[in-house]
Amino acid sequence: MTKDQLDKSEYNPYFQLYIDCAGALNLIKGLKQNGDDIITFLESISDDKYDYAYAEGKWTIKELIQHIIDTERVFTFRALSFARKEKKALPGYDEDDYAVSSEANRRSKQDLLNELHVLRQATVALFESFSKDMLIQMGNASNNNISVRAIGFILIGHGNHHCKIIKERYL
């Protein structure tokens, strides 16, 4: 399935930006290719840029990568929960609070990239394990309904979106 097969009722309009950035590949190929592309891009950035923030109060590249990691962990938990037919609403998360608490700037470039790579491999394995019925399951997170498959495309688009921001504002 591709992002074009999603129904707008499967996600909050807030996520349209990420869905639009997801590309045209099917979900599994998209997750794999996106993971490879993100790692390749981030590896190409010189180490000295990783502690750079383009303006006062903005995240460094290290913090941005940690944000991508944290978001993927939160969203894959949501996908797993809804694939397993969780009926309880799941809470939101405040990405700014997470960023402050992450201590990402003490980590090395390689440490962050290794974690991101391993996490994406786990995400791909999780989505490969889902049946067609599991992918269309809906759940509620942050007071909004969302499908498992929409979460997958959001993850792809979220990574692409932040790589675009790095290219435009950090390099």
Using a pLDDT cut of 90, give the percent of the chain over it: 99
Structure tokens at 138: 């809906």
Average pLDDT, the chain: 97
Exposed / middle / buried, residue 31 (Cβ in 10 Å: 0-12, 13-18, 19+): buried
Give strand pairing partners of 32.
Answer: none
Q: pLDDT at position 156, please?
A: 98
| pTM for the whole structure | 0.96
Structural domains of the chain in order of their starting residue, each with its CATH number: 20-170 (1.20.120.450)
pLDDT band at 40 (very low <50, low <70, confident <90, very high): very high
Please state, in angstroms and rounded to a whole number, the distance separating the CA atoms of residues 90 and 78: 7
* Per-residue pLDDT reduced to its tens digit, 55-104: 999 999 999 999 999 999 999 999 999 999 999 999 999 999 999 999 99
* Per-residue pLDDT reduced to its tens digit, 100-135: 999 999 999 999 999 999 999 999 999 999 999 999
